[in-house]
Amino acid sequence: MNSLALNLLLPALAAILLYLLAGALLWRRLVSGTPATPATRLRLLAPGLIAVVLHGVLLWQVLFTPSGVDVGFYTIFTLVGWLAALLLLLSALSRPVESLGIVVLPFTAITILLRLLSDEHNILSRDLATGLEFHILVSILAYSLLSIAVVQAILLYFQDAHLHNKQPGGIVRALPPLETMETMLFQMIGLGFIVLSVSLFSGGLYLEDILAQHLVHKTVLSIIAWILFGILLWGRVQFGWRGRVAIRWTIAAFIALMLAYFGSKFVIELVLHR
Protein backbone atom coordinates (compact mmCIF):
# COMPACT_ATOMS: atom_id res chain seq x y z
CA MET A 1 0.00 0.00 0.00
CA ASN A 2 1.34 3.47 -0.83
CA SER A 3 1.56 6.57 1.32
CA LEU A 4 -2.03 7.60 0.66
CA ALA A 5 -3.42 9.19 3.83
CA LEU A 6 -5.41 6.84 6.04
CA ASN A 7 -8.33 9.28 6.06
CA LEU A 8 -8.63 8.74 2.28
CA LEU A 9 -8.38 4.96 2.46
CA LEU A 10 -11.94 4.48 3.73
CA PRO A 11 -13.68 6.52 0.97
CA ALA A 12 -11.45 4.84 -1.63
CA LEU A 13 -12.40 1.33 -0.48
CA ALA A 14 -16.06 2.33 -0.13
CA ALA A 15 -16.05 3.72 -3.69
CA ILE A 16 -14.54 0.47 -5.01
CA LEU A 17 -17.20 -1.66 -3.31
CA LEU A 18 -20.05 0.62 -4.44
CA TYR A 19 -18.86 0.65 -8.06
CA LEU A 20 -18.69 -3.15 -8.01
CA LEU A 21 -22.14 -3.35 -6.38
CA ALA A 22 -23.67 -1.07 -9.03
CA GLY A 23 -22.02 -3.07 -11.81
CA ALA A 24 -23.31 -6.33 -10.31
CA LEU A 25 -26.86 -4.97 -10.00
CA LEU A 26 -26.82 -3.83 -13.62
CA TRP A 27 -25.44 -7.19 -14.73
CA ARG A 28 -28.17 -9.06 -12.86
CA ARG A 29 -30.86 -6.93 -14.50
CA LEU A 30 -29.39 -7.51 -17.95
CA VAL A 31 -29.12 -11.27 -17.43
CA SER A 32 -32.72 -11.42 -16.24
CA GLY A 33 -33.78 -9.47 -19.32
CA THR A 34 -36.04 -7.20 -17.26
CA PRO A 35 -36.63 -3.75 -18.83
CA ALA A 36 -35.74 -0.88 -16.49
CA THR A 37 -38.27 1.79 -15.61
CA PRO A 38 -36.92 5.24 -14.62
CA ALA A 39 -37.46 4.40 -10.93
CA THR A 40 -35.71 1.03 -11.29
CA ARG A 41 -32.85 2.63 -13.19
CA LEU A 42 -32.30 5.19 -10.43
CA ARG A 43 -32.28 2.47 -7.78
CA LEU A 44 -29.72 0.46 -9.74
CA LEU A 45 -27.52 3.50 -10.30
CA ALA A 46 -27.68 4.80 -6.70
CA PRO A 47 -24.57 2.90 -5.46
CA GLY A 48 -22.62 4.17 -8.47
CA LEU A 49 -23.73 7.77 -7.85
CA ILE A 50 -22.52 7.56 -4.24
CA ALA A 51 -19.28 5.95 -5.43
CA VAL A 52 -18.57 8.70 -7.94
CA VAL A 53 -18.91 11.32 -5.16
CA LEU A 54 -16.48 9.43 -2.89
CA HIS A 55 -14.14 8.92 -5.85
CA GLY A 56 -14.25 12.67 -6.54
CA VAL A 57 -13.22 13.41 -2.93
CA LEU A 58 -10.29 11.02 -3.31
CA LEU A 59 -9.25 12.54 -6.63
CA TRP A 60 -9.25 16.08 -5.28
CA GLN A 61 -6.76 15.02 -2.63
CA VAL A 62 -4.42 12.98 -4.81
CA LEU A 63 -4.46 15.33 -7.82
CA PHE A 64 -3.81 18.62 -6.04
CA THR A 65 -0.83 18.14 -3.79
CA PRO A 66 1.13 20.85 -1.90
CA SER A 67 3.91 20.50 -4.50
CA GLY A 68 1.66 20.80 -7.56
CA VAL A 69 -0.70 18.73 -9.69
CA ASP A 70 0.02 14.99 -9.81
CA VAL A 71 -0.32 13.75 -13.40
CA GLY A 72 1.25 10.36 -12.73
CA PHE A 73 0.09 7.37 -14.75
CA TYR A 74 -2.19 5.82 -12.13
CA THR A 75 -3.58 9.16 -10.94
CA ILE A 76 -4.63 10.12 -14.46
CA PHE A 77 -5.83 6.56 -15.07
CA THR A 78 -8.27 6.83 -12.16
CA LEU A 79 -9.22 10.37 -13.23
CA VAL A 80 -10.25 9.00 -16.64
CA GLY A 81 -12.19 6.24 -14.88
CA TRP A 82 -13.96 8.79 -12.70
CA LEU A 83 -14.90 10.99 -15.66
CA ALA A 84 -16.16 7.99 -17.63
CA ALA A 85 -18.27 6.81 -14.68
CA LEU A 86 -19.59 10.32 -14.00
CA LEU A 87 -20.56 10.94 -17.63
CA LEU A 88 -22.20 7.52 -17.89
CA LEU A 89 -24.18 7.85 -14.65
CA LEU A 90 -25.42 11.34 -15.47
CA SER A 91 -26.42 10.25 -18.97
CA ALA A 92 -28.15 7.14 -17.63
CA LEU A 93 -30.50 9.28 -15.53
CA SER A 94 -32.27 10.39 -18.70
CA ARG A 95 -31.20 7.93 -21.42
CA PRO A 96 -31.10 4.09 -21.60
CA VAL A 97 -27.29 3.78 -21.47
CA GLU A 98 -27.01 2.20 -18.02
CA SER A 99 -26.03 -1.15 -19.59
CA LEU A 100 -22.58 0.33 -20.26
CA GLY A 101 -22.08 0.31 -16.49
CA ILE A 102 -21.39 -3.42 -16.46
CA VAL A 103 -17.98 -2.55 -17.98
CA VAL A 104 -17.36 1.09 -17.01
CA LEU A 105 -18.08 0.82 -13.28
CA PRO A 106 -15.91 -2.26 -12.50
CA PHE A 107 -13.16 -0.72 -14.66
CA THR A 108 -13.33 2.46 -12.58
CA ALA A 109 -13.11 0.42 -9.37
CA ILE A 110 -9.92 -1.19 -10.72
CA THR A 111 -8.39 2.23 -11.44
CA ILE A 112 -8.90 3.25 -7.80
CA LEU A 113 -7.33 0.01 -6.57
CA LEU A 114 -4.29 0.51 -8.80
CA ARG A 115 -3.89 4.06 -7.49
CA LEU A 116 -4.05 2.78 -3.91
CA LEU A 117 -1.30 0.26 -4.61
CA SER A 118 1.00 2.66 -6.45
CA ASP A 119 3.70 5.01 -5.14
CA GLU A 120 4.30 6.50 -8.61
CA HIS A 121 3.90 10.28 -9.00
CA ASN A 122 4.61 12.91 -11.66
CA ILE A 123 4.16 16.39 -10.21
CA LEU A 124 3.55 19.36 -12.49
CA SER A 125 4.57 22.76 -11.21
CA ARG A 126 1.74 25.06 -10.14
CA ASP A 127 3.07 27.77 -12.48
CA LEU A 128 2.02 25.73 -15.55
CA ALA A 129 0.53 27.90 -18.32
CA THR A 130 -3.26 28.11 -18.16
CA GLY A 131 -3.57 27.12 -21.83
CA LEU A 132 -1.49 24.00 -21.28
CA GLU A 133 -3.62 23.07 -18.25
CA PHE A 134 -6.69 23.49 -20.46
CA HIS A 135 -5.15 21.20 -23.10
CA ILE A 136 -4.45 18.49 -20.52
CA LEU A 137 -7.97 18.62 -19.06
CA VAL A 138 -9.66 18.61 -22.48
CA SER A 139 -7.49 15.68 -23.58
CA ILE A 140 -8.58 13.68 -20.55
CA LEU A 141 -12.23 14.56 -21.20
CA ALA A 142 -11.93 13.48 -24.85
CA TYR A 143 -10.38 10.17 -23.82
CA SER A 144 -13.15 9.58 -21.25
CA LEU A 145 -15.94 10.27 -23.74
CA LEU A 146 -14.43 8.02 -26.38
CA SER A 147 -13.81 5.30 -23.77
CA ILE A 148 -17.57 5.17 -23.17
CA ALA A 149 -18.12 5.07 -26.94
CA VAL A 150 -15.87 2.04 -27.37
CA VAL A 151 -17.72 0.20 -24.58
CA GLN A 152 -20.95 1.01 -26.42
CA ALA A 153 -19.40 -0.36 -29.62
CA ILE A 154 -18.43 -3.62 -27.90
CA LEU A 155 -21.94 -4.10 -26.51
CA LEU A 156 -23.32 -3.27 -29.93
CA TYR A 157 -21.11 -5.98 -31.45
CA PHE A 158 -22.49 -8.64 -29.09
CA GLN A 159 -26.04 -7.43 -29.66
CA ASP A 160 -25.58 -7.55 -33.44
CA ALA A 161 -23.98 -11.01 -33.27
CA HIS A 162 -26.82 -12.45 -31.14
CA LEU A 163 -29.47 -11.00 -33.41
CA HIS A 164 -27.77 -12.40 -36.52
CA ASN A 165 -27.61 -15.80 -34.82
CA LYS A 166 -31.27 -15.43 -33.86
CA GLN A 167 -30.49 -15.68 -30.15
CA PRO A 168 -32.00 -12.44 -28.77
CA GLY A 169 -32.22 -13.63 -25.17
CA GLY A 170 -30.77 -12.67 -21.78
CA ILE A 171 -28.62 -9.55 -21.95
CA VAL A 172 -29.57 -8.73 -25.53
CA ARG A 173 -33.26 -8.71 -24.66
CA ALA A 174 -32.68 -6.06 -21.98
CA LEU A 175 -30.68 -3.73 -24.23
CA PRO A 176 -32.31 -0.88 -26.18
CA PRO A 177 -33.15 -1.63 -29.85
CA LEU A 178 -30.18 -1.99 -32.20
CA GLU A 179 -31.00 1.25 -34.03
CA THR A 180 -31.13 3.17 -30.74
CA MET A 181 -27.78 1.69 -29.67
CA GLU A 182 -26.20 2.75 -32.97
CA THR A 183 -27.64 6.25 -32.72
CA MET A 184 -26.25 6.67 -29.20
CA LEU A 185 -22.88 5.32 -30.35
CA PHE A 186 -22.52 7.94 -33.06
CA GLN A 187 -23.71 10.70 -30.75
CA MET A 188 -20.97 9.74 -28.28
CA ILE A 189 -18.37 9.55 -31.03
CA GLY A 190 -19.47 12.89 -32.47
CA LEU A 191 -19.16 14.64 -29.11
CA GLY A 192 -15.85 12.92 -28.38
CA PHE A 193 -14.54 13.90 -31.82
CA ILE A 194 -15.36 17.56 -31.17
CA VAL A 195 -13.60 17.53 -27.80
CA LEU A 196 -10.61 15.65 -29.29
CA SER A 197 -10.41 18.31 -32.04
CA VAL A 198 -10.26 21.03 -29.38
CA SER A 199 -7.57 19.04 -27.58
CA LEU A 200 -5.40 18.74 -30.70
CA PHE A 201 -5.87 22.41 -31.59
CA SER A 202 -4.96 23.58 -28.08
CA GLY A 203 -1.99 21.20 -28.04
CA GLY A 204 -0.78 22.67 -31.34
CA LEU A 205 -0.38 26.03 -29.60
CA TYR A 206 2.27 24.43 -27.38
CA LEU A 207 4.10 22.47 -30.07
CA GLU A 208 7.54 23.50 -28.77
CA ASP A 209 6.71 22.14 -25.31
CA ILE A 210 5.49 18.89 -26.87
CA LEU A 211 8.71 18.48 -28.87
CA ALA A 212 10.83 19.29 -25.82
CA GLN A 213 9.05 16.60 -23.80
CA HIS A 214 9.60 13.96 -26.52
CA LEU A 215 5.85 13.53 -27.07
CA VAL A 216 5.89 13.52 -30.87
CA HIS A 217 4.71 9.90 -30.98
CA LYS A 218 1.78 10.78 -28.71
CA THR A 219 0.81 13.64 -31.01
CA VAL A 220 1.08 11.51 -34.15
CA LEU A 221 -1.03 8.69 -32.68
CA SER A 222 -3.64 11.20 -31.46
CA ILE A 223 -3.88 12.67 -34.96
CA ILE A 224 -4.24 9.16 -36.43
CA ALA A 225 -7.08 8.46 -33.97
CA TRP A 226 -8.69 11.80 -34.89
CA ILE A 227 -8.49 10.95 -38.61
CA LEU A 228 -9.99 7.49 -38.04
CA PHE A 229 -12.89 8.88 -36.00
CA GLY A 230 -13.37 11.57 -38.65
CA ILE A 231 -13.50 8.98 -41.45
CA LEU A 232 -16.02 6.97 -39.43
CA LEU A 233 -18.32 9.98 -38.96
CA TRP A 234 -17.95 10.90 -42.66
CA GLY A 235 -18.76 7.31 -43.68
CA ARG A 236 -21.84 7.38 -41.49
CA VAL A 237 -23.11 10.55 -43.19
CA GLN A 238 -22.11 9.67 -46.75
CA PHE A 239 -22.62 5.92 -46.89
CA GLY A 240 -24.73 5.13 -43.83
CA TRP A 241 -22.02 3.01 -42.20
CA ARG A 242 -23.40 0.97 -39.33
CA GLY A 243 -23.11 -2.38 -37.62
CA ARG A 244 -19.79 -4.17 -37.74
CA VAL A 245 -18.17 -1.64 -40.07
CA ALA A 246 -18.80 1.15 -37.55
CA ILE A 247 -17.70 -1.08 -34.66
CA ARG A 248 -14.37 -1.96 -36.33
CA TRP A 249 -13.58 1.69 -37.09
CA THR A 250 -14.47 2.72 -33.54
CA ILE A 251 -12.24 0.09 -31.94
CA ALA A 252 -9.33 0.81 -34.31
CA ALA A 253 -9.51 4.55 -33.63
CA PHE A 254 -9.72 4.01 -29.89
CA ILE A 255 -6.71 1.69 -29.89
CA ALA A 256 -4.68 4.46 -31.57
CA LEU A 257 -5.91 6.95 -28.97
CA MET A 258 -5.17 4.56 -26.10
CA LEU A 259 -1.63 4.03 -27.37
CA ALA A 260 -1.22 7.77 -27.81
CA TYR A 261 -2.00 8.57 -24.22
CA PHE A 262 -1.62 5.63 -21.88
CA GLY A 263 0.80 3.69 -24.09
CA SER A 264 3.28 6.55 -24.26
CA LYS A 265 2.70 7.53 -20.63
CA PHE A 266 3.28 3.94 -19.47
CA VAL A 267 6.54 3.65 -21.37
CA ILE A 268 7.89 7.08 -20.40
CA GLU A 269 6.95 7.02 -16.71
CA LEU A 270 6.89 3.37 -15.67
CA VAL A 271 9.43 1.82 -18.04
CA LEU A 272 11.92 4.61 -18.76
CA HIS A 273 11.23 6.46 -15.45
CA ARG A 274 11.39 9.91 -17.04
- So what's the pLDDT on residue 169? 55
Closest of 268, 266, 273, 261 to residue 114, by C-alpha = 266
- So what's the pLDDT on residue 172? 66
Closest of 114, 191, 113 to residue 152, by C-alpha = 191
- So what's the pLDDT on residue 209? 55
- So what's the pLDDT on residue 272? 47
Mean pLDDT by 10 residues, the chain (274 residues): 66 95 91 74 92 94 79 85 93 86 94 87 66 80 91 87 67 73 91 93 69 66 94 94 91 91 59 48
- So what's the pLDDT on residue 130? 67
Which own/partner contact pairs does 85-94 have at CB distance under 8 Å and 24+ positions apart?
A: 85/19, 85/48, 85/51, 85/52, 85/55, 86/52, 86/56, 87/144, 87/145, 87/148, 88/148, 89/45, 89/48, 89/49, 89/52, 92/41, 92/45, 93/41, 93/42, 93/45
